[in-house]
Structure 1
């Protein structure tokens, strides 16, 4: 495989959902690469400090990134193949590395006799230079939801992304303009959980770089524009059992959903609050996560209901799935899927009772009272306080994640915003 390329780009997803890695000459790529494990202590602004497991006070030692040449796939740079690597430290998997987190969640389901299948839907805004060193929404005044063609994509960048995706072997299901101007949705075909998350991770990296080559920014920030809708990451979940049968379907049930499906829904709702920080991991996430925003705000589910956290599609068969609408695309696809799988498994293990489906509009009227946390700080509190979820998800992972995110929150609260100056400065 490596003979087809001059270089192999070895990437791995980190806790910030960034694609870290190295270019390796193809002839030596099989040996993998080494990186500083203290990368797992970094914030977006490159600040680092003591974080459990990240070696900041232990000399900042190396981790090992290994790969299989059989997994190398066509990249989006000429002569460069790309592969997602596995991380170890002193010969053991790194417990908070996103791929390892998802691998544990999948293994726990396999121990119960089920193989999880996952499909992702990304939303993103296209931005252009504002002439002052910043970014503004790319103009598409003729765009409309579910639009295609020039009026919705006058730059042609989405067509370029689709073309490049095909060349790289990505399994795109669809691409279309979303509700707001210059917003797009990218839907990937479902697959085994780890393969699907790897593909989502690489696809997002590719799409942003294709846009950047045209001096445009494809942003997956949850709420980049105050007066427009947010960007979501919908995680679609299904299972097959050891016999290859569809585990979410029971044609004898009134709604066609199996007991397993109902218990998965119950688990996702029961652990909505503790898993929010993992699925909505930035300060900005909570500008999107609000009532009447068609996201996973309320502790509810519904049949083909876009204003619920868990939406169940009406078809019963191979396409039956549980669509969790909580996450945003700032989240790691590996971590978000692992969180949802963990909550679902707890629902099954504890035989939780599924509440009735939402029948109200889900906008101004809902049939529940519990909702997602209102800030990153509140979400971190909820995560750390839920001992059952922390134990099931991985205490070392939660410790590393919350340490980094507590720093992020502290930096935010110390920052003097333009709003404060605009509002108070003339008077005080």
Structure 2
């Protein structure tokens, strides 16, 4: 058959929604969806969330894409594309996460800087036992930095690598993480929108390939209670107008070699630490991961080559100079998460926030700072509501929708624990 088109967008819950469309749609084109998916929750509850227009007739919105953005797919006779959302009047939809990222990028470009992003994803592999219950994938020989069949007996990651290469995803690495059967997937840095486009499609591809092997590959933050958490680390730098790395002060990196741009971005991350959590760690399960001493971005702090701080300053300089923000997890929408970090960084530069001293504690037995994220989703959403500057920068309509849906999620999950809480999310994230 002629190739069909799979047109997709990543919604407020970090779910990939889309349609299969005929070959004639392969080009500059569009298709329509019900706008009220922005009021739909994981359990399919339809809610009158701000901007979803559930009680205003559930009108259409339009997904538009360009021919140049259409790419090959990992499914036969199928091509795939991501697009931008517009309202029924043809204006950019204020709830569109990809649109929020494009706005953030444009604001940095107005300063002569182009954001560059590299994203590290972590995921657990689960499989059904004889009773149909999800349990960790049986990889008893798995160790941190493990490769080969002891870490992955079914070798589903080999298939993910091969298909990623065929699809043009620039993988930096796949390796086993600290807690078996946990894996890390890192893509090479790129312009921010391109990097996030690649991440959301790679994540979808990896989950769909793993499912063919009977594996539920979940990027949720804490699916295995006795294991470590899974994060979505965002590495950020900027290209200046000559193409150089604007964070670089020379061949060496680290705290002693930060310039004013790096300090301003870092101050923005710290100033908006609590509010950011409500956006980039946005599920009840996120707060099982965000804990003291968990290498997860809990504390409002920063350091050099230190994995127990929230923002890590790479010791690499030159073209590789970067800031690594370690709070986010992949239950967040990656477009919204990166947009929020770019906006927090921009506010830090423009508002001249004071940068607190570098963390000197080990993060396990001693931590200098006493400030942290909230301990629960409820608290994090409340912190986000209080962060007016971040809300206005990211988009008040998008944040209002997010806050409403997450407040409902708090109620939906407050009596869930263990496998019941995991199963509320696991097949979606």
1:346 and 1:188 map into 2 onto residues whose CA distance is 27
Partner of 1:303: 304
Partner of 1:17: 14
1:93 aligns with 2:92: yes
C-alpha deviation, 1:121, in angstroms: 0.2
Do the aligned residues in 1 keep the contact of 2:300 with 2:373 (CA within 8 Å)?
yes
2:399 and 2:418 map into 1 onto residues whose CA distance is 33
Count of matched residue pairs: 416
Partner of 2:82: 84
Do the aligned residues in 1 keep the contact of 2:26 with 2:70 (CA within 8 Å)?
no
Do the aligned residues in 1 keep the contact of 2:33 with 2:60 (CA within 8 Å)?
yes
C-alpha deviation, 1:364, in angstroms: 1.8
1:115 and 1:419 map into 2 onto residues whose CA distance is 43
Do the aligned residues in 2 keep the contact of 1:5 with 1:81 (CA within 8 Å)?
no
Runs of 4+ in 1 over 6 A off after TM superposition: none
2:130 and 2:98 map into 1 onto residues whose CA distance is 39
Distance 1:418 1:161, change over 3 A: closer
**Residues 48-63 of structure 1 correspond to what in structure 2 (within 5 A)?**
48-63=46-61
Q: Give deviations 1:33-87, integer Å, cap 9, x for gaps.
A: 1100000111100101111111101110111111112211110101111110111
1:26 aligns with 2:6: no
C-alpha deviation, 1:418, in angstroms: 7.3
1:248 aligns with 2:247: yes
Partner of 2:38: 40
Structure 1 unaligned residues grouped into runs of 5+: 421-428
Do the aligned residues in 2 keep the contact of 1:13 with 1:19 (CA within 8 Å)?
yes
Q: Give deviations 1:138-181, integer Å, cap 9, x for gaps.
A: 01111110111110111111111101111111111100000011
Do the aligned residues in 1 keep the contact of 2:225 with 2:418 (CA within 8 Å)?
no
Distance 1:156 1:240, change over 3 A: same
C-alpha deviation, 1:353, in angstroms: 2.4
CA RMSD of aligned residues (A): 1.7
Partner of 1:411: 412
Partner of 2:279: 278
1:54 and 1:384 map into 2 onto residues whose CA distance is 19
Do the aligned residues in 2 keep the contact of 1:278 with 1:331 (CA within 8 Å)?
yes
1:202 and 1:278 map into 2 onto residues whose CA distance is 21
C-alpha deviation, 1:416, in angstroms: 5.9
**Residues 117-132 of structure 1 correspond to what in structure 2 (within 5 A)?**
117-132=116-131
Do the aligned residues in 1 keep the contact of 2:5 with 2:25 (CA within 8 Å)?
no
C-alpha deviation, 1:250, in angstroms: 2.1
Distance 1:231 1:239, change over 3 A: same
Do the aligned residues in 1 keep the contact of 2:6 with 2:19 (CA within 8 Å)?
yes
**Residues 143-162 of structure 1 correspond to what in structure 2 (within 5 A)?**
143-162=142-161
1:189 and 1:255 map into 2 onto residues whose CA distance is 26
Q: TM-score, normalised by structure 1?
A: 0.94
